[in-house]
Amino acid sequence: MNAATNADQVVIVGGGPVGMMLALNLAALGVCSTLINRETGPRWHPKGSTQNARTMEHYRRLGIVDAVRAVGLPRDLQTDVTYFTTLDGWELARLTMPSEGEKLAARAAAPADDQEVEPLYRCNQMHAEAVLFDQVQACALVDKRYGHECTSWREDADGVTAEIENLANGRRETIRGRYIAGCDGARGIVRQQLGYAYRGETPTMQPYLGGPMVSTYIRAADIPKVARTRCWQYWVVNTHIRANIVAVDGKSEFLFTTKLDRPDQEPDEARIAKAFRDAVGHDIAVEFVGHGTWTAGQFFVAEKFGAGRAWLAGDAVHLFTPTGGFGMNTGVDDAANLGWKLAAMVQGWGGAQLLDSYEAERQPVAFRNTGASKALNSNVNATPVAPEIGQTSAAGDAARRVAGEYLSGGRPEFASLGVQLGARYDSSSITVSDGTPPPADDLFDYRPSGVPGGRAPHVWIGERHEAGDSLFDRFGTGFTVLRLGRKPAKADGLLAAFAKKNVPVKTIDVDGAVARDLYERDIVVVRPDQHIAWRGNADPADAEAVVAQMIGQQKSN
């Protein structure tokens, strides 16, 4: 047994998108990690299809957004969501949404205060994971242990020790780190040893997205021809089947999802083929590539997100049904929040209260986002489906009109910018309040605000709206001090306090009125995860105390 003694690192268990993003966030701040994952590479089976606006901002911050945009749906594909009785039958409703190319063209022409610096992107999780995997493989600060399993771990006063096993040859090693992060899902070993339970609701049995589900990766190039349209999602709604067909590559590959009868039921290709035929309306050529089972209708949040030297992120702390596309994206935001705090602790500038702020900030967001997903899921299943919906008759016309009117109101599921960008940490011990009430939470509309605790409002600095033209592009990897207005205010006290505490910081002067109007103060401190920590019109009277609070070295008053 070999002993690894690199204590100044974070041990990450779970190499899915959340674990990889945590490793890359740590690396951006110069902190090493060991990434342990059972599989030898990313899983090649489609899952969620949405990289939301906040996730895309994190990709941009890490310098990988262009690589992700290169692997999603074709730029000319309209990302419409269309509902049918069967694909060869009646179209019930269509939610018209722009192609990726149209979104980027709109961004190029947007005003300086436009908040969608990186518009939501329809890209299947397996394609995004492949990009993250390549980035991790190229990162010298990440010790990659794919094809390994963490068999046990223990914590002591100085760090953690993890026992790992190479699944190919049985070779065992001991890995040492300052902290351990469980990004290995609901059944992961980190959460199991911590003994944390989930809080929430068991799945409700309902016509769709409630109970056991099967998602089948298929190749069926004739789907757009049969449906008489190209779009991103094809829904089938009738009296005997509800199914969803999502474009994976925008050409011939799709993910077909429908219900199973029982939780213990294994995917039966003959039954799935019949369900697919029922959804299409007649036989077409189809190749079944693979199947995955899962449970829909679950909305769970862990009772704790970590303690001491062990912390959790992603599915280890929250479980979603995919309505809204919030699951993986919430996990990516977890990684951004936890990453800089673990880096601060490893590098010695984080205070005793800093890691506790992770749960205080992210657990309310998890409850908020799972609640939004639950509400949207209920809407999907409340679709009125009369027995006559598939008939060629006046009654059939009426049934389809009623269903279509209901389904036409489903746009919020696909346009929830408030969920994507609106997470706030107002009550966090490391947010320095100035007494201004935050904007009201809205799941669908995002209102930029300079009130401490929220995402820093975005401003375009350059006219071309390209790489380097965003205010976000100029933020530092650590803290950023913004000095706003035509005559920048002095922030010498803050900068001296950051330097004294060895906190990485960068100063940016922005002289335009747009930024000053959005932030409403002359000086603003932005955290490494792009949330506002403090703002004011002059150096604080006790700058050292303010900086100490931001990094968890003292509790808020």
- The pLDDT, as a whole number, for residue 3 is 42
- The pLDDT, as a whole number, for residue 208 is 60
- The pLDDT, as a whole number, for residue 4 is 46
Comparing CA positions, the residue from 243, 269, 242 lying closest to residue 256 is 243
Phi-psi region of 460 (alpha: psi -120 to 50; beta: other; left: phi over 0): beta
- The pLDDT, as a whole number, for residue 306 is 98
Residues 110, 122: contact at Cβ < 8 Å? no
In this structure, the strands spanning 160-166 and 242-247 are unpaired
How far is residue 378's CA from residue 462's CA, in Å, rounded to a whole number?
Answer: 43
pLDDT tens figures, 170-185: 999 999 999 999 999 9
Q: Indicate the length of the chain as a whole number.
A: 557
The tokens describing 300, both together, are 């769970």
- The pLDDT, as a whole number, for residue 327 is 85
The tokens describing 352, both together, are 């005793």
The tokens describing 550, both together, are 């931001």
DSSP letter, residue 449: -
The tokens describing 442, both together, are 């809205």
N- to C-terminal Cα separation, the chain:
50
Which residues, including other chains, have CB under 8 Å from residue 153's CB and lie 6 or more apart? 11, 13, 160, 161, 162, 163, 180, 189, 190, 193, 310
- The pLDDT, as a whole number, for residue 298 is 72
From edge to edge, which strands make up the β-sheet containing 160-166?
A: 2-3, 172-177, 160-166, 148-155
- Kindly list the structural domains of the chain, giving each domain's residue range(s) and its CATH number in brackets, ordered by start: 2-72+123-201+299-372 (3.50.50.60), 74-117+212-292+385-415 (3.30.9.10), 424-550 (3.40.30.120)
**Percent of the chain whose predicted confidence (pLDDT) is above 70:** 94
- The pLDDT, as a whole number, for residue 1 is 34
- The pLDDT, as a whole number, for residue 557 is 56
The parts of the chain modelled with pLDDT lower than 70 are 1-6, 202-210, 323-325, 377-381, 410-413, 555-557
pLDDT tens figures, 276-288: 999 999 999 999 9
DSSP helix/strand/coil, 42: coil
- The pLDDT, as a whole number, for residue 263 is 80
User: Dmax over Cα atoms in the chain, in whole Å?
Assistant: 79
